[in-house]
Amino acid sequence: MKTLRNRGDIYRGTDPETGADVRAWPGEVISVSEAKAAQLQADWPGRWEDLGSSSAQEIAATGAPNVLQGSGAEPEQLPKRKRGRPRKAVKQG
């Protein structure tokens, strides 16, 4: 797997090795197969910055290459919302 940074416009495509959709907004860092990285860099030279290889284990552990690792603590439970008044009926016509 290769890590690339998009320095151009929005990109949408498909990775031929994994079959996964590839979407990258300007400035976003994505992880794609070696073949897709080579294709992107050949088709749009200068648009994709190569950030090196990424380990497949890291991606599998987080579900995505750009997910921040948290402390592992459960989020605080928010109080349930109280039901409000129903909307008034609006006369049609």
Structural domain boundaries enclosing 49: 2-61
Tell me, yes or no, whether 78 lies in a domain: no
What does the alpha-carbon distance between residue 25 and residue 83 come to, in Å, rounded to a whole number?
39
Tell me, yes or no, whether 54 lies in a domain: yes
CB 9 within 8 A of CB 26: yes
Tell me, yes or no, whether 92 lies in a domain: no
Per the structure, the count of domains in the chain is 1
Query: Would you tell me how many other CB atoms lie within 10 Å of the CB of residue 66?
Result: 11
Taking 60 as the threshold, does the pLDDT of residue 31 lie above it?
yes
Claim: this prediction has a pTM higher than 0.85: no
Q: What is the dihedral of CA 72, 74, 76, 77, to 10 degrees?
A: 160
Tell me, yes or no, whether 21 lies in a domain: yes
Tell me, yes or no, whether 22 lies in a domain: yes
What's the pLDDT tens digit per position in 34-52?
999 999 999 988 899 988 8
* Nearest C-alpha neighbor of 31 from the set 62, 4, 69: 4
